[in-house]
Amino acid sequence: MEAKKLDIWIIVLAVLTYGMVNWFVLLPKDSYLENTLLLSAMFAIAVLSYLSGMMIALSAAALCIFFYGSYIMYGSVMLGRGIESHVYYWLVLLPLVALLTAVIGNLIRSIQKENLRMRERYSEYVTIDENTGMENARVFYAVLGQYISLSKRYELPLSVMLVRLEYYDDIRSIVGSEAMKDVVAWIGRRLGDSTRNEDSGYILEDGRTFALLLLGNPDGAQVVKHRIKENIHAYDLQRAAKAVTVRIELRIGIAVFTAEENQDPLALRRAAQKDMEFDV
């Protein structure tokens, strides 16, 4: 609805501007300087109205009309000059243009606020990382909570594995921000190839750490860890006519869920991060 109103007001302003410019050309040449100054003042008021709002717009127009009216009255009373018809046009055009541009500015700001609000709401519901296609940290914590409940009820072995890309900033400085997205996406695919179908992978909020939920005993998690280390050594980035080889170094930590300790998702993540410190 706001967009339709904006279209209507812009059309009205365009028609008014077209008529005003044509009318300005037809004005008598003996008042050219006066009309030029008023035209410049009117466009200045239009810009101010667009950026500020209705009250400032009308105040600026009223101030301009006051000084212009005082000038006309001085010429009429003190100098005996007649009031020409174009004076009345300016007295109407100044507040009218200020009003139109203020309305358009308010509508555009309203649409921008609504767009920002919709973007924020959209980001709250996004669960898939656009770059890697993996689910994000929000889903990770939700699914991990479900896995913990299943592990408690059915005594299923559960391990949380964190995989962090080392020297992330150094690699990005070498290959660039856009190419870095390809590196991270490639690592995500390789992690998926290194796990089983019943396991699940996620990318966490820092964009350089991955989380894997592994259903199986701790020995199986160690097998997956060694498989990842073997499968991910270097990435050949195709740039122009030659490939740039980026050495990939990963630090991996594993936390095993135990029902006796009654761990929650955050505790498991912290345990995996602590174990990651000992991975060399």
Q: What is the tens place of the pLDDT at every residue in 156-207?
A: 889 999 999 998 998 888 888 888 888 899 999 989 888 888 889 999 988 8
Residues of the chain with CATH 3.30.70.270: 137-276
Q: What is the tens place of the pLDDT at every residue in 216-264?
A: 888 888 999 998 888 887 776 655 445 667 788 899 999 999 877 778 8
Which CATH superfamily does the domain covering 137-276 fall into? Answer: Reverse transcriptase/Diguanylate cyclase domain (3.30.70.270)
In 3D, which of 44, 85, 86, 89 has the Cα closest to residue 64? Answer: 44
Q: What is the tens place of the pLDDT at every residue in 39-87?
A: 778 778 878 777 777 777 778 777 887 777 777 776 666 655 656 666 7
Return d(Cα 148, Cα 56) in angstroms, integer: 60
Instruction: State residue 240's pLDDT score.
Output: 46
Q: Strands 158-165, 250-256: parallel, antiparallel or unpaired by DSSP?
A: antiparallel
Q: What is the tens place of the pLDDT at every residue in 115-168?
A: 888 877 777 777 888 888 899 998 999 999 999 988 888 888 899 999 999 989
Contacts 24+ apart (CB under 8 A), 32-37: 35/86, 35/90
